[in-house]
Structure 1
């Protein structure tokens, strides 16, 4: 309903001061599991994982974007903000993804693997209400944001936070980039687990989107005491013609005055475009971008990723665990709009203190993707 007045205004005043554009994505995904005898088995599944629609453009002196995901039982708001650019700096107000690390900055439309890194399940807060600023100059890029821990659709996380990112991209020649960066954030959660506030948990799915039984409980704060969270991450990426890679490592510390928690996660990702195209790179925000096929037959890409996470909480709830996974896959890019993806992931969950393997799961996952 919020979009209707804006749409009417834009259609009635179609000129250089008011513009309206649209974008969207559909991600249909499936998974087939190879379960071992340990742990509860996963069930094969398929689902429309994303059905996003956005309108964006210019409204006099500000830019705007309103985006929602219609894949679930009810629409969920994503980006909903206004922005103002001043030179090389852009100011944002509304709901957006607070400034975070490299994997979070790369759109799911362009990420080489179907499943994002476990760092993505640990570090970013998701879409939140707040204010932010991003900028760039001479290969440097930076960003900062102050935000509530609430969003338009989720009001059960109470608290406030601030985060920042700084990085540098050395552009040696077209198609050759070395990228370095770091991220820091501080979040203050109010009484998680009580008075209507949601518990604060880190329970990553170690075998992918459909694998609820593979969740690894690492962090669980639900006593109602306020929790301070400190997040740090470093990142690096490279682009060398048709080869690209990215590496990240992050650490998150939790403290409510009686209990402490810590989660560490990192990954290494490599990609090779068999048909010779080079992934794009956006130096303004410091992220790898889409592959644009040079032939009518499209482009082919091979990728491999190693992912690791471990965490612990002490002294009252002695949670401690770890997981690792290898992923190999192939992607086909149509000349426009369509991408087909197929990944095989081998994942293991471990009881860290005893060194015991809790389960060993393989999953064949695929995605049919359309975006415009």
Structure 2
């Protein structure tokens, strides 16, 4: 389905070019400006560069109940993206961003959005749509990785047609989706299809206090695509997965239905956040199984900052630094602790389809709002259905992050 990826990307690029053409014809030279990155304007058409670089160092110790223990480490670019975003008039916006690491390139966000009025939007392209932590950009998440719940629900960027309505403190978004623009069904068959809905409500939004409540649901069928696989990582995308239902008919899904709950609260410099999700899977070998997972974390800014919550969108955004280094201050410091759990034990007959749990400690320094230095330590346990497959993993990670 590489052809599907290229055609989809080309179609969106063509749409952007056609949209921009009238404005470009009317104005010969752009008027450069600065809004966190170079921004250009031709009449009603704007174009702004965007990108991010996450440079990581990871050390991991793996202790097996049976077999050789080992340690591994790596320094790498977790992500390196470059792209553009902009608008045409008051109603049309677009984003096109690619990721370039390890000698490979993939589309990330790639979409066009039409907003006929405030809080109403229709979006088509490759983007995320489910889960509070998932729709919050990795530039703004409290921890370096989103955790095993995100792995389990498999709700990454896929080709989607979505409609949204809402108000200043609520929203409902629903739509249909296929596979990622970078993937697709092997052999040119029909790629996966799904429908989803996400709703959120912020009953309290004040200067000191924010409260978020959310719920979402998704139903999908793999069709001719690769069977769905249910597994989690050790709060890092480095190393192996040791809690895994596998790809055999006992653990792989033909179709599934997922439901998730979201909650978060911010009071001054303290915040808490948690999510829970369950997945009912129809297995490729017949029968069904259920997987579930959740996380909860708390964070605190001893320097007085507050996590920025966007009540209309139901997600978190960039932290405003009270005394950045660029103005003679010390920047911001955030301390956090997190607990994760996942349960795959209903996938009977798969030794590694057990239970996962982990505790993560995190510390982040923000010298400036577009730069972060992060450190995370995770102690995780993979308790398999067969004791011999139990694996304990300790992971220490560091990140230098810059975005624009």
User: Could you tell me the TM-score, scaled by structure 2's length?
Assistant: 0.83
Tell me which residue corresponds to 2:85.
56
Aligned length: 363
Q: 1:46 aligned to 2:75? A: yes
Tell me which residue corresponds to 1:163.
196
Q: Deviations over 1:94-150 (max 9, x none)?
A: 2222x21111111111111112121110114311112102232142222112111x2
Deviation at 1:259, TM superposition (A): 2.9
Counterpart selection for 2:304 from 273, 276, 279? 276
Deviation at 1:34, TM superposition (A): 3.1
Tell me which residue corresponds to 1:123.
153
Deviation at 1:56, TM superposition (A): 1.1
Matches of 2:348 and 2:338 in 1, distance apart?
Answer: 34
Counterpart selection for 1:347 from 352, 356, 380? 380
User: What RMSD over aligned residues (CA atoms) do the two structures have, in Å?
Assistant: 2.6
**Higher alpha-carbon deviation: 52-61 or 159-168:** 52-61
Q: Tell me, what secondary structure is at the counterpart of 1:44?
A: strand
Contact 2:351 2:389 in 1 (8 A): no
User: Could you tell me the TM-score, scaled by structure 1's length?
Assistant: 0.89
Q: 1:183 aligned to 2:211? A: no
Contact 1:106 1:289 in 2 (8 A): yes
Matches within 5 A, 1:97-112: 97=128, 99-112=129-142
Counterpart selection for 1:310 from 343, 360, 363? 343
Matches of 2:64 and 2:242 in 1, distance apart?
Answer: 17
| Structure 1: segments with no counterpart, 5+ residues | 192-196
Matches within 5 A, 1:17-36: 17-36=44-63
Matches of 2:319 and 2:181 in 1, distance apart?
Answer: 33
Deviation at 1:41, TM superposition (A): 2.6
Deviation at 1:86, TM superposition (A): 2.1
Matches of 1:356 and 1:324 in 2, distance apart?
Answer: 17
Matches within 5 A, 1:209-358: 209-212=237-240, 214-220=241-247, 227-256=254-283, 258-295=286-323, 296-314=329-347, 320-351=353-384, 353=385, 358=390
Tell me which residue corresponds to 1:194.
none
Deviation at 1:314, TM superposition (A): 4.6
Q: Tell me, what secondary structure is at the counterpart of 2:72?
A: coil
Matches of 1:115 and 1:272 in 2, distance apart?
Answer: 18
Tell me which residue corresponds to 1:75.
105
| Structure 2: segments with no counterpart, 5+ residues | 1-8, 28-40, 324-328
Contact 2:185 2:192 in 1 (8 A): no
**Higher alpha-carbon deviation: 322-331 or 78-87:** 78-87
Counting helix residues as a fraction of each chain, which structure ranks higher? 2
Q: Tell me, what secondary structure is at the counterpart of 2:234?
A: coil
Contact 1:259 1:313 in 2 (8 A): no
Matches of 1:243 and 1:204 in 2, distance apart?
Answer: 28
Q: 1:139 to 1:228 in 2, by over 3 A?
A: same
Q: 1:354 to 1:216 in 2, by over 3 A?
A: closer
Q: 1:146 aligned to 2:179? A: no
Q: Deviations over 1:51-73 (max 9, x none)?
A: 11121111355211111111232
Deviation at 1:6, TM superposition (A): 3.5
Deviation at 1:37, TM superposition (A): 5.1
Contact 2:55 2:401 in 1 (8 A): yes
Tell me which residue corresponds to 1:370.
402
